[in-house]
């Protein structure tokens, strides 16, 4: 009876403690999966356009565990026929979602200071990731001004010595670009 007077919600505290333990274990498992991918990888490939033309691309990707999830930073350098180059770099932070193996992008701050995804209805990309076996996939969805869409998919599959990269770009269901390459771990 004394326990009920001193700790009237002992059962509630017990349930909360158990729930927190389960979440902590699950988070540890989610982070353990990404640790296999952590590192810097480099390589080059031929980007194939929808019309069949190709462009040489140098690529690199860095995958790093963070305090609340992981980040993926990638750079591609396109070599033009006239000798010019065009470089693009992107970095996205990911946090575990409520579903195992699926990660939400944390690309901006809400008014309350929480990291949240961007808004595709404002022309910003909606980005998420997943780990399925040995493959880390990053998806990006863009909604254009006419309500059409563009979908990018980066599959990065662990292999001996690095990653196999498969990239595809769809616009309104039609293939625009593809890339397949091996990126060597540095």
- The CATH class, in words, for 2-185 is mainly beta
CA dihedral sign, ordered 126, 58, 74, 88: negative
Record the pTM: 0.75
d(CA 90, CA 61): 10
Q: What is the 3-state secondary structure (H, E, C) of 134-175?
A: CEEEEEEEEECCCCCEEEEEEEEEEECCEEEEEEEEEECCEE
Torsion of Cα atoms, 45 then 155 then 149 then 59, to 10°? -30
**pLDDT tens by residue, 149-176:** 999 999 999 999 999 999 999 999 999 9
* 123-156 confidence digits (pLDDT tens): 888 999 999 999 999 999 999 999 999 999 999 9
The answer for 34, left when phi > 0, alpha when psi is -120 to 50, beta otherwise, is alpha
């Amino acid at each position: 009876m004394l326990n009920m007077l001193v700790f009237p919600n002992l059962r509630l505290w017990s349930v909360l403690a158990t729930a927190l333990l389960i979440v902590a274990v699950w988070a540890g498992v989610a982070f353990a999966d990404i640790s296999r991918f952590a590192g810097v990888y480099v390589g080059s490939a031929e980007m194939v356009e929808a019309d069949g033309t190709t462009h040489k691309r140098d690529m690199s990707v860095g995958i790093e565990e963070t305090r609340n999830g992981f980040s993926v930073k990638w750079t591609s350098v396109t070599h033009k026929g006239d000798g010019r180059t065009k470089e693009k770099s992107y970095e996205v932070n990911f946090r575990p979602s409520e579903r195992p193996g699926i990660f939400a992008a944390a690309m901006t701050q809400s008014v309350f200071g929480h990291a949240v995804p961007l808004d595709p209805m404002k022309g910003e990309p909606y980005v998420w990731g997943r780990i399925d076996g040995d493959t880390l996939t990053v998806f990006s969805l863009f909604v254009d001004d006419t309500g059409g869409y563009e979908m990018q998919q980066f599959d990065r599959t662990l292999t001996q010595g690095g990653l196999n990269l498969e990239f595809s770009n769809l616009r309104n269901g039609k293939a625009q670009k593809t890339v397949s390459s091996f990126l060597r771990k540095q």
